[in-house]
Chains A and B, each alone.
Chain A
Amino acid sequence: MPGNRFNAFQDHGVGIGLRIPHYEHIFSRKPVVDWFEIISENYMCDAGRPPAMLDRILEQYRVVQHGVSMYFGSVTAPDPEHLKRLKNLVRRTKTPWLSDHLCWGSVDGTYTHDLLPLPYTWEAVERTVERVRMVQDYLEIPVAVENVSSYAAFTGSEMTEWEFLTEVVERADCGILFDVNNVYVSAMNHEFNPLDYVNAVPAHRVAQIHIAGHSKYEKYILDTHDHPVIDPVWQLYARAIERCGPTPTLLEWDDHIPSFDEVHAEAKKAEQFLHPHATELVGAAK
């Protein structure tokens, strides 16, 4: 059976993030795309153009929601209005699962709008588990948490990031949106071997995989989503697929966005890892 209970047993294939500069191409050319991922917050307004455009997409394509401001690790509870709007959007898109980040970003009702890293402590595990369970119960669909790119580590951490992730998802009984680019970025920024992370992640809980490009600076790497995926990240992806099996995969491209065809072609490179035998057969037939 394809998929697992964390992605509603879906075999989505390879998708790309839905971005406004591609609307015209999508509506006029109706390209064949396995699925689109939307950033939930960009469609959580009351009415007008964003939901109308989304409805047009939903007529033709499968859509999965990805959020950026649930902040599962924030100590203060999420805004009920946020949850209500998110659930309304879930009803609209009929997303089979939903993801957001394993991070924090707001405190006492003030929002940084950033994906801030958590200290890997038992206290943070407990707090995050509680929040993930609450959101999952409220939304009534499988929730997957995504590992973030981080630039700082905490003196108080009591475990590795992958141990922290494992503790959270096992206790919350939720899925993982495994971002292999984020693994690479964090590995470079925190000086660990990214394969250790990929080899340790609980593969049976991986609902979805993210791939993306990043920017390398002199002293750190920034997760900018504005370049093609680099080879070392493809290697991590290959290893992740080896461990998890065929998994819905999504390319994120958020800045200096090239043409739809270019983004889609970059995403489709994932197929050679997802279906290596099929690719070999096509190659042989040619």
Chain B
Amino acid sequence: MSENVVLELKNIRKRFGPVQALKGVNFKLCEGEIHALMGENGAGKSTLIKVLTGVYTKDEGSIHMKGYDGDIAIHSPQEAQDAGISTVYQEITLCPNLSVAENMYIGRGKEIIQNWKKMNDNANKILESLDIPTSATTQLANCSIAVQQMVAIARAVDMDCKVLILDEPTSSLDDQEVAKLFKLMRDLKARGVGIIFVTHFLDQVYEVCDKITVLRDGVQEGEYKTEELPRLQLVSKMLGKEIDDLSDIKNDEAIMQDTNEENVIETNQLTSTSGISPLDFYIKKGEVNGFTGLLGSGRSECVRAIFGADKVVGGTIKKNGKLVKINKPIDAMKAGIAYLPEDRKVDGIIGDLSVRENIILALQVLEGFWKPFTRAEADDFAEKYIKLLGIKTASADTPIKSLSGGNQQKCIVARWLLTHPEYLILDEPTRGIDVGTKVDIQKLVLKLASEGMSITFISSETDEMLRTCSRLIVMRDRKVVGELTGSDLTQNKIMSVIAGGDK
């Protein structure tokens, strides 16, 4: 058995500043096996893969490959390739302007002169043997995403890789394309390649994988044979909740909110360019609801469509029963909608600006170009919310980027509260911030709701949502697959809906 092991990681540790992302991960991959690597946000999945592919260098631990003695050092993607570890990423990391064959061979070999004929012949041979529907001389940009993905795999195969890492390769593929990809994966498995498959789609895991390793909080939660781990168990292990000993904390107040209030926001068959299935959604005054589902299930895309952050391509939105047209975020803001985006760094903070400017920004934009707040007004707003939310900052003048994650997030919350929205969307407001702040934000959500604000709360941590939401919309594969209220609001129930009902 042990000579079958092609890759073994022992006690891998990696830290970023104060954050210990990997706390001693062990992992074992055998030849001819498809091994799913599962874990929620912050579990350390992507860090682990980056350590394996040489993007990051590990702090501690060792990596063993079959055929090498002792720990192998991987400091760059190049070295990882040389060791026989190839990676295919979610975003295509090939050059769209080059031909298929070139993409398979560039960056390899040392010959100075390129022999096109030999290269194209070789490429065609491999493409044929893997049954990839394209030819060597086609420009990559003219291929579909799935084929591009396969070309990346073909490159890896031709490099004689022992370990192939597929990092969410299926997220932009349709069903047919996924089927083709799986066929290719099984072919490779038959050739003895060890495949690490990272995905958020549970169905796919159960379709192709032999083993599952679950990571949680930077450690290996366990390694399981796929057939021995029912879906529900898998979900519970990923979320870190035992199914049976869950005491269901509920938001009693919120449950009482089940009144006949009017819908504040109502969408009808809303779709956007992000590719979500048409969304029918409503929220009542003073209600807190949430979108749940695993990462990549389309939670964020739904709320982004409502806010006009992605281009809306179909459907309607009604506000208090009246149709509103939301094409751009400003339209949504004028309609009294506020949106705290998922990615704080990219979409939320404006790093070099001060805390004060970050807080007043949204309201300022609503007020208009010609009505800037005076310094005194701005200071008042900033001070008020710094105090209200307990933002820890040296002063309102400090650039927001020098604050801790939790305090940055509070500033963004303050920014939107300042606009006094009727409907507030919080997309992962608690991600990557300290526990104290998480609790603060949840309390705040309940308080605001009791004052009549409608809130959609999205979090990867289900218990947060159970504590705050009175209605949960469950998503899988960019579709709404269920809605839970009242006594159905339990971890078990959510997990079984996410997992697809079957135990």
Bound pair: A and B?
no
